[in-house]
Amino acid sequence: YIIKDSINAYEYVVELVGRLYNNCHHKVLVVDDSAISCTMIANMLTMQNFEVLVAEDGVQALEVYKNNSGINLIITDYHMPNMDGFTLTLNLRKDYSKEQLAIIGLSASGDTDLGAQFIKYGANDFLAKPIRYEELLCRVNQNISMLEYMEALRNAANRDFLTSLYNRRYFFSQGKQIFQQAIDNESDISVAMLDIDHFKQINDNYGHEAGDDLLIHFSEQLTEHFEKDLIARIGGEEFVILFDGLTDDIVIKMLNDFREKIAAQVITCDEAKISMTVSIGFNSHKEQHLDAMLKIADENLYKAKQSGRNQVVG
Ligand code: GH3
Ligand code: MG
Ligand code: MG
Ligand code: MG
């Protein structure tokens, strides 16, 4: 880099710090039976602030990958005892797509076919040994940018912009599969529809922005309270939850606990202190379709509204 003046230098440092800061969110697994090669690559990446894990062969790599969540890039050698790089790549691709997990194959110099073959086996990219620092970083950064871009696309398609909860489209695509499994296995499945009470008044009294803040807060509470269940925002102040494999007693208790928690909170928005309540309709009666199950939950929600709000009916 040629730094011409202090402004350039400042911008360069800001960019560099930003990149280093972002890199620490990425876990990279380096797989190579040559300890020298493995350490060298690991050091190059550690210098760039990546979190680095290492493995000696394909078998160990699968083990490390299984036991560490959040690895999104694997750099793997080809020649290794127990399991080579191609077999490792093939194994990983059974469960993880190129858009979820980037794999960069390492090909020894002289073996010109290895690169192309790695890609045929499912690698995203390859690097020729001996590894050059600049090229390694370019390829790693390019692959990570691609993963981030894919994640942004997935989120744009599946999540609600305001609250980051899943949207209606994602809820039904996932929900229908979970519903079908529950039918096939004759296991418990239930749904709840939630609607914040008198939300229009909250907007009218405190403004639309405060309303938005409350929706975000409410969504965070939902995610925290129902960690294992499928939650979505399906309307303005309307939410749906799908419970898989839980008995009615457990779900109704969870819903009532949540309802009470919300009712007991006072949320400070700017100067204002705001409280809210939520009405909930529940249904665990299996219908032919998920939509029909939700319709009953919605009727129960209506009953909850009719009989005074801030309650669970189901
Ligand atoms: P009820 O207890 O019967 O549910 O009354 P309510 O006022 O909550 O119901 P209603 O359906 O009449 O009003 C819902 C309100 O939610 C109206 C709308 O302005 C507001 N709303 C919907 N989406 C958003 C949003 O994204 N942000 C904000 N701030 N308000 C929203
Ligand atoms: Mg080797
Ligand atoms: Mg509503
Ligand atoms: Mg409402």
Residue 60: pLDDT above 80?
yes
Distance from the alpha carbon of residue 289 to the mean position of ligand 1, in angstroms? 28
Supply the pLDDT for residue 21. Answer: 66
Pocket test for ligand 1, best of 199, 213, 214, 278 (most atoms within 8 A of CB): 199
User: Which candidate, 227, 236, 163, 132, places its Cα nearest to that of 194?
Assistant: 236
Q: Which residue owns the Cα nearest ligand 1 atom 22?
A: 236
Distance from the alpha carbon of residue 263 to the mean position of ligand 4, in angstroms? 14
- 6: confidence class by pLDDT, cuts 50, 70, 90: low
Of residues 278 and 48, more confidence is placed in 278
Pocket test for ligand 1, best of 205, 206, 237, 239 (most atoms within 8 A of CB): 237
Q: Which residue bears the tokens 């499928």?
A: 230
Query: pLDDT over 90 for what percent of the chain?
Result: 85
Residue 1: pLDDT above 60?
no
Q: What is the overall mean pLDDT for the chain? A: 93
Burial of 217 (C-beta count, 10 Å sphere; 0-12/13-18/19+): middle
User: Which candidate, 106, 100, 110, places its Cα nearest to that of 136?
Assistant: 106
Supply the pLDDT for residue 11. Answer: 74
Q: What is the pLDDT of residues 99-134, one digit of tens each?
A: 999 999 998 767 778 999 999 999 999 999 889 999
Burial of 177 (C-beta count, 10 Å sphere; 0-12/13-18/19+): exposed
Distance from the alpha carbon of residue 164 to the mean position of ligand 1, in angstroms? 18
- Whether 124 and 98 have beta carbons less than 8 Å apart is answered as yes
Q: Which ipTM was obtained for this model?
A: 0.96
Mean pLDDT of 255-271: 95
Q: Which residue bears the tokens 């696309």?
A: 153
**Residue 40 to residues 44, 105, 118, 152, Cα–Cα distance (Å):** 6, 16, 21, 32
Supply the pLDDT for residue 110. Answer: 75
Q: Which residue owns the Cα nearest ligand 1 atom 29?
A: 211
Supply the pLDDT for residue 240. Answer: 98
CB count in 10 Å sphere of residue 138? 12
- 10: confidence class by pLDDT, cuts 50, 70, 90: confident
Ligand 1 atom with the smallest distance to the CA of 214 is: 29
Taking the complete model, does pTM exceed 0.80, yes or no?
no
**Which ligand has the minimum distance to the alpha carbon of residue 77?**
2
Q: What is the pLDDT of residues 201-245, one digit of tens each?
A: 999 999 999 999 999 999 999 999 999 999 999 999 999 999 999
Q: Which residue owns the Cα nearest ligand 1 atom 27?
A: 212
Distance from the alpha carbon of residue 198 to the mean position of ligand 3, in angstroms? 9
Distance from the alpha carbon of residue 43 to the mean position of ligand 2, in angstroms? 18
Mean pLDDT of 59-71: 96
* Residue from 237, 238, 271, 299 carrying the catalytic annotation: 237
Pocket of ligand 1 (CB under 6 A): 162, 195-200, 203, 208, 211-212, 215, 236-237, 305, 309
Distance from the alpha carbon of residue 203 to the mean position of ligand 1, in angstroms? 8
| 237 belongs to the catalytic site | yes
Q: Which residue owns the Cα nearest ligand 1 atom 23?
A: 236
Supply the pLDDT for residue 3. Answer: 58
Q: Which residue owns the Cα nearest ligand 1 atom 6?
A: 198
Of residues 109 and 188, more confidence is placed in 188
Ion ligand 4, residue ranges at CB < 5 A:
195-196, 199, 237
Listed in sequence order, the residues at least 6 apart from 248 whose beta carbon sits closer than 8 Å to its beta carbon are: 188, 190, 282, 284, 314
Residue 92: pLDDT above 60?
yes
- 15: confidence class by pLDDT, cuts 50, 70, 90: confident
**Residue 154 to residues 8, 49, 99, 100, 231, Cα–Cα distance (Å):** 35, 26, 10, 11, 17
Supply the pLDDT for residue 251. Answer: 98
Listed in sequence order, the residues at least 6 apart from 224 whose beta carbon sits closer than 8 Å to its beta carbon are: none
Q: Which residue owns the Cα nearest ligand 1 atom 26?
A: 236
